C-alpha cells in the first residue's frame, strides 16, 4: 500500500515545491507626479524603481511646467538604468516660479525622451490594456487623473486601485484644523471630479504625512550608500533644501508605501464620505461625500524602515 502511494506523495511534494518556487507576481504601478516641486516626488519614484516587487508601467507628469518636470523624471530613470519606463507629459498650467530649482538638475539632459502620447491618454490606454491589474498612484495635483476620467468614465473599473497623496481631513502637524491641501487646491475643479466619481479611492492626507520627516541620520545613511539612485536623490535634495534646518516631509513616499503594503503603516484606514468643496477643502460630508478610504495614524518607524531599506536595495 505504501509503495503505491509513494509516487503520488512525491508528485504532490514536487508540485508544492514548484508552486512555492514561483516568484510572486509583481505589482503593476503607474505613477502620476508633479516631480521637482517638493522633493518627496523624486524620492517616491526612487522607491518604485528600487523595488523588485514592482513593475513600473509608466510615469505621467502633472501640473505647472510639465515638460521641465518630465526631464527630471527621465534623467532619474536613465541614471538608474530604467530607460524602459515610459514618461508621458500632461497639460502645462501656470505655476509659481519658486518651485523650479530642481529643474536645473536635468535642464541639459537628452539621454531619454518622453513618449509622444499625452499623459491622460497614456493613463487610459495603459489601464485598458491591463484591466484590473494596475495600481494608479497620484501624488500631485489631479489634472491628469481628471482628464483621464473625462476620456474614460470607467476608469475606476479599469484600475486595480487608485491611491492618492491628497487632502487634509482634520488636524495635522502644521494646523489644528483641516486646511486646503496643495494637491487639491492647486486644481480644485479636477479634484472635485476625481473625489466625486465614486472610484475605489484611497488617500493618504496631511493628517498622516505631516508628522513624518526625514531625520539627519536617515539622510546620512542613504548618502553613505553612494549608489546611482541615492546620489541622484541627494543631488535633488541639495537643490531643494533652503537651509540646515530644512527636513523633507515624506508625503508622497507614504502614498507609495500604502500602495505597496496596504494598511501596514497606519493604525487606522477608515472609509469616510469625502467631498471637495469650492475652496479646496476635503470635507467629511455624509450627505454628498463619496466613500474614500483615509489612512490615519502613521506608524512612523515601521514605514521609514521599510522605505530606507527599499531605496538601499537597488545597487
Query: Is residue 134's pLDDT more than 80?
Result: yes
**Quick one: what percent of the chain has pLDDT higher than 90?**
87
Residue 2 is assigned to a structural domain of this protein: no
- Please give the residue that has the higher pLDDT: either 291 or 22: 291
Q: Which domain holds residue 194?
A: 25-312
CA distance 313 to 143: 33
The pLDDT of residue 97 is: 59
Residue 162: which H helix or E strand, with range? Answer: strand 161-165
CATH number of the domain bearing residue 283: 3.90.245.10
Digit-coded pLDDT (tens) for 183-192: 999 999 999 9
What is the rounded average pLDDT of the residues 245-271? 97
Query: Is residue 54's pLDDT more than 80?
Result: yes
Instruction: Quickly state the pLDDT bin for 22 (edges 50, 70, 90).
Output: low
Residue 182, helix vs strand vs coil: helix
Residue 267 is assigned to a structural domain of this protein: yes
Least confident of 100-104, 225-229, 266-270, 278-282: 100-104
Residue 68 is assigned to a structural domain of this protein: yes
The pLDDT of residue 117 is: 98
Q: Report how many domains make up the chain.
A: 1
Residue 156 is assigned to a structural domain of this protein: yes
**Quick one: what percent of the chain has pLDDT higher than 70?**
91
CA distance 91 to 35: 14
Residue 30 is assigned to a structural domain of this protein: yes
CA distance 127 to 203: 20
The torsion defined by the Cα of 154, 157, 163 and 166, in degrees rounded to 10, comes to 30
Query: Is residue 19's pLDDT more than 50?
Result: no
Residue 5 is assigned to a structural domain of this protein: no
Query: Is residue 9's pLDDT more than 70?
Result: no
- The per-residue pLDDT of the chain, averaged, comes to 93
**Which has the closest alpha carbon to 213: 43, 73, 36?**
43
What is the rounded average pLDDT of the residues 101-129? 97
CA distance 286 to 288: 6
Amino acid at each position: 500500500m505504501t509503495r503505491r502511494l509513494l509516487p503520488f506523495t512525491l508528485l504532490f511534494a514536487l508540485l508544492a515545491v514548484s508552486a512555492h518556487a514561483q516568484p510572486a507576481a509583481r505589482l503593476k504601478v503607474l505613477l502620476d507626479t508633479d516631480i521637482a516641486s517638493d522633493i518627496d516626488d523624486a524620492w517616491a519614484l526612487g522607491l518604485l524603481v528600487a523595488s523588485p516587487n514592482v513593475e513600473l508601467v509608466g510615469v505621467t507628469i502633472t501640473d505647472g511646467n510639465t515638460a521641465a518636470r518630465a526631464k527630471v523624471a527621465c534623467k532619474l530613470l536613465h541614471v538608474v538604468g530604467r530607460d524602459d519606463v515610459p514618461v508621458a507629459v500632461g497639460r502645462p498650467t501656470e505655476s509659481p516660479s519658486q518651485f523650479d530649482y530642481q529643474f536645473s538638475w536635468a535642464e541639459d539632459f537628452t539621454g531619454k525622451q518622453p513618449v509622444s502620447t499625452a499623459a491622460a491618454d497614456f493613463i487610459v490606454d495603459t489601464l485598458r490594456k491591463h484591466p484590473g491589474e494596475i495600481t494608479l498612484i497620484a501624488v500631485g495635483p489631479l489634472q491628469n487623473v481628471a482628464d483621464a476620467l473625462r476620456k474614460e468614465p470607467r476608469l475606476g473599473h479599469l484600475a486595480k486601485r487608485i491611491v492618492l497623496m491628497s487632502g487634509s481631513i482634520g488636524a495635522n502637524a502644521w494646523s489644528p484644523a483641516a486646511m486646503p491641501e496643495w494637491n487639491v487646491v492647486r486644481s480644485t475643479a479636477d479634484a472635485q471630479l476625481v473625489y466625486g466619481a465614486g472610484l475605489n479611492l484611497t488617500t493618504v492626507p496631511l493628517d498622516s504625512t505631516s508628522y513624518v520627516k526625514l531625520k539627519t541620520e536617515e539622510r546620512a545613511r542613504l548618502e553613505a550608500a553612494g549608489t546611482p539612485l541615492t546620489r541622484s536623490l541627494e543631488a535633488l535634495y541639495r537643490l531643494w533644501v533652503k537651509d540646515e534646518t530644512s527636513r523633507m516631509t515624506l508625503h508622497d513616499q507614504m502614498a507609495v508605501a500604502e500602495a505597496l503594503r496596504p494598511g501596514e503603516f497606519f493604525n487606522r484606514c477608515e472609509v469616510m464620505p469625502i467631498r471637495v468643496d469650492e475652496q479646496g477643502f476635503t470635507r467629511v460630508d455624509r450627505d454628498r461625500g463619496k466613500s474614500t478610504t483615509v489612512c490615519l495614524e502613521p506608524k512612523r518607524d515601521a514605514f521609514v524602515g521599510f522605505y530606507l531599506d527599499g531605496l538601499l536595495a537597488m545597487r
